[in-house]
Structures are given as C-alpha cells and as structure tokens.
Amino acid sequence: MGRVKARKAIKLLSLIVISAILFVLNSYWGSTVIALPPPEDTPEEILRTKIIIEARSPIDGKFLTAAEYVQLQAQLQEVPPPKLDPNIRDQIFLLRLRKTLFQFFPFLNF
C-alpha cells in the first residue's frame, strides 16, 4: 500500500512540475510579440500632422494630385441616373420582397 501511494505522489508531483515548466516557457514564448516597432517606422503622431499632397485613385490606383482627388471624389458622390428598365427594377424589387417574406414565413408557397 505504501508503494502505491508513493508512486501516485511521485506521478502527481512530476505532473505539477512539468505543467509549471510548460506554463513558464509558454509565457516567455509570447513575450517576443510585445516589442517596439522598428526605428525606421514613422510614429503615428507625426503621420497625423503630415499634410497629404498626393493620393491614389480608388478606381485604378494611379497617383493623383490633391485637386484631382477632390474632383474624383465629387464625381463618385453623384448618383448616376438609373439605367435599368422600370419593369425590370420592379421585378427585382418584388423578388427581394419575396425573399424577405420567405425568411419570416417559410411555410408560404407563392
């Protein structure tokens, strides 16, 4: 009986020691993630105060001047006239309405 208890105590002690070692190693392993940015990286505070004089087009990625960028943004804000036939637009609306109704009332069959 004494040997069985001793073996169980040794197994429990070894399990506790191994778990503690793994826990400590795991906590040190993640510490490499917590690091300072590289020195060549410009701080965000400086970037926020920098005046942007060139930009990229959201359409094709070409470089634009500030005036061209503002002009392009104004063009993109304008709503283009509808190009679909009104009958087709009505059919699309009805299909979307039908889909929504089926989500709430799946037992309907229309």
Residue 59: its pLDDT value, please?
A: 84
Examine residue 14 and state whether it is found in any structural domain, yes or no.
yes
Which domain does 13 fall in, by range?
Answer: 1-29
Instruction: Quickly state the pLDDT bin for 41 (edges 50, 70, 90).
Output: confident
21 in a structural domain:
yes
45-80, pLDDT tens digit by residue?
A: 888 887 777 788 888 888 888 888 888 889 888 877
What count of Cα atoms within 13 Å lies in the side-chain half-sphere of residue 91?
A: 5
Residue 23 lies in a domain: yes
**CB-based contacts of 102, cutoff 8 Å, min separation 6:** 108
The answer to whether residue 18 sits within a structural domain is: yes
Instruction: Confirm whether 88 is domain-assigned.
Output: no
At 51 the pLDDT is 76
Residue 53 lies inside a defined structural domain of this protein: no
